[in-house]
Homo-oligomer: A and B are copies of this chain.
Amino acid sequence: MSLSQLCYVPNMGMLALLGFAMIAAGQDHPAARAAREYRMSHERAIVDEFLSLLAIPNVASHAGDIARNVEHLQHLLAHRRIESQVLEVPNAPPVLYAEIRTPGATRTLMFYAHIDGQPVEPAQWQGSKPFTPVLKDRGGRVIALPEKFDPESRIYARSASDDKAPVMAMLAALDAMKAKGLALRSNLKFFFDGEEEAGSPNLRRYLEQYRDKLGADAWIFCDGPVHQSRKQQVVMGVRGVVGLNLTLYGAKRELHSGHYGNWAPNPLMMAAQLMASMRNEDGRILIPGFYDDVEPLSESEKQAVRNAPDIDAELKEELGLVRTEGNGKRIEELVNLPALNFRGMQAAGVGAQSRNVVPASTTISIDVRLVKGMDPQRVVDKFRQHLASQGYHVVTQEPDDAIRRKHPRICRLDAREGGYKAVRASMDLPISKEVIAAVKAARGDIVVLPTMGGSLPIAPIAEAFDKPVIIVPIANHDNNQHGHNENIRIQNLWDGIETLAALLNL
């Protein structure tokens, strides 16, 4: 049975089974149980508050929008009498920091989420706009907000999943524990990042400048999706990432393809050759030395990967795929390898905007996912060396006439995104075991993995404090994260509140 069938058209027997599983799961953990009871009588209020947060545009590159998100969230925290403070370093979006001191606590936990989102292309969204959140039923129709929500309905908005859902889940979990009179046991800190989707290039400066404030015995990262089997997961690390743009040049201006085609160098042709020299269709990276620094998984980590539910067949069905990259390897194995992804490309016009020109240039946008052992700067250097080996003169800005006169092939390499390393914490640390146990008690059958495929800016934290960073995501895997029509499945929001309650109650 495909995942989409499981999600959208369960038969009655399965519904009963799921219902039973859900009730059974929360009962092992008092905070999760409190969260469920509270949520069931406050669904509409929780969603209303969530939508107020989603309605504020939050593209990471728009500093003013990030400031408005910070202000709104500060207001939501103040309403709960939680002290917060806007942290600032020069020329960077603000971070919102908050703290709850627990009398007698001997441990401090830091909860991380981010309030910025990926860029948006509103024209591509269907039936809604990125910052006008709507609820859609399981058939995809926009519907009015009810008092009680179908768990398979979804809220659509930029950051509905990535990453405002965990922010809302934290607030609701705290409300629930307070309402049910459950005492906290650790000191709690909160770090709401304002530029995660831009690669958190200033995180290191924040950690330095506010080192005293930001120390904790562990960071719990609430970002990313749950396992594609829809099971809650606890993940001990992430891939690193580095982004870059390559621009290849033909003539100084677009040329009529009839009068100059066959004579003027075609940048798209150059791009095709260059791309094929970098990677093959199975995802194997052909740039020399790319795998040199990779630190392989330990035996126990390999075992954890093998233990994860095999969801390849369901995913392929859901995504309309017969073939996958990786030569038949499972997705859990593949995300433990580095990946070179062509994330976008642009030259002149296509379709109705086609023009008969030889394009003047083309830009290839690339993100590289790193595994433990790889360094973002060394990776960029390998690209630079590879470009040179393919005959390209590498520049960092538009080539002028003098440069054009000297070099037959010119590539602009733009690697301003910085990037960060991969990190993995050991599953055997006491805090790792406690986190895994609490989430298991709250949510039943969970998946534990050494690494998630996505990247989070964990490396600077792990390096600054030498403390474990453990990832507990809550969003559905099919949330269109980073794309258009981003959404959160209501059941994932509900489950997330329970998961967060168990963690906040550690």
The interface of chain A, by Cβ under 8 A from chain B, is 61, 118-119, 121, 224-225, 238-239, 241, 243, 245, 250-266, 268-273, 275-276, 279-281, 283, 317-326, 331, 334-335, 337, 339, 341-359, 362-365, 367, 369, 399, 401, 404-409, 414, 452-455, 477, 480-485
Contact = CB atoms under 8 A, between A and B. Distances in A.
Contacts of A265: 281, 321, 323-325
Given A252-B320, A273-B276, A319-B253, A326 B266 contact: no
Nearest to A334: B262
A313 to B, nearest CB: 12
B482 A256 contact: yes
A325 B264 contact: yes
Contact of A404 (B322, B358, B409, B482): B322
Closest 9 CB pairs of A and B: A258-B454, A254-B483, A323-B408, A272-B275, A268-B342, A344-B348, A320-B404, A251-B319, A262-B339
Contacts of A339: 257-258, 261-262
A254 B480 contact: yes
B343 A364 contact: no
A482 B357 contact: yes
Contacts of A401: 320
Nearest to A238: B258
Nearest to A249: B320
A354 B245 contact: yes
A477 B253 CA distance: 13
Nearest to A199: B356
Contacts of A406: 322
A346 B356 contact: no
Contacts of A365: 348-351, 354
A353 B359 contact: no
B251 A320 contact: yes
A241 B356 contact: yes
B264 A407 contact: no
B263 A241 contact: no
B262 A283 contact: yes
Given A269-B275, A356-B243, A261 B319 contact: no
A52 B9 CA distance: 61
A180 B455 CA distance: 78
Contact of A344 (B354, B409, B455): B354
Given A257-B343, A349-B344, A357-B343, A264 B482 contact: no
Contacts of A260: 331, 453
A281 B273 contact: yes
A244 B162 CA distance: 38
B269 A279 contact: yes
A408 B258 contact: no
Contacts of A353: 119, 121, 344
B344 A258 contact: no
B348 A262 contact: no
A269 B284 CA distance: 11
A259 B257 CA distance: 40
A272 B262 contact: no
A352 B346 CA distance: 12
A318 to B, nearest CB: 8
Contact of A269 (B324, B342, B357): B342
A352 B275 CA distance: 21
A346 B348 CA distance: 8
Contacts of A283: 261-263, 266
A454 B259 contact: yes
B319 A264 contact: yes
Contacts of A356: 118, 241, 243, 341, 343, 367, 455, 482
Contacts of A407: 322
14 contacts: A225-B259, A245-B354, A253-B319, A254-B484, A255-B483, A259-B452, A259-B477, A261-B369, A269-B342, A270-B281, A322-B404, A322-B408, A343-B355, A356-B367
Contacts of A245: 350-351, 354
A481 B256 contact: yes
B352 A61 contact: yes
A73 B369 CA distance: 59
A349 B343 CA distance: 7
Nearest to A414: B351
Contacts of A337: 262
A335 B272 contact: no
Contacts of A335: 258-259, 261-263
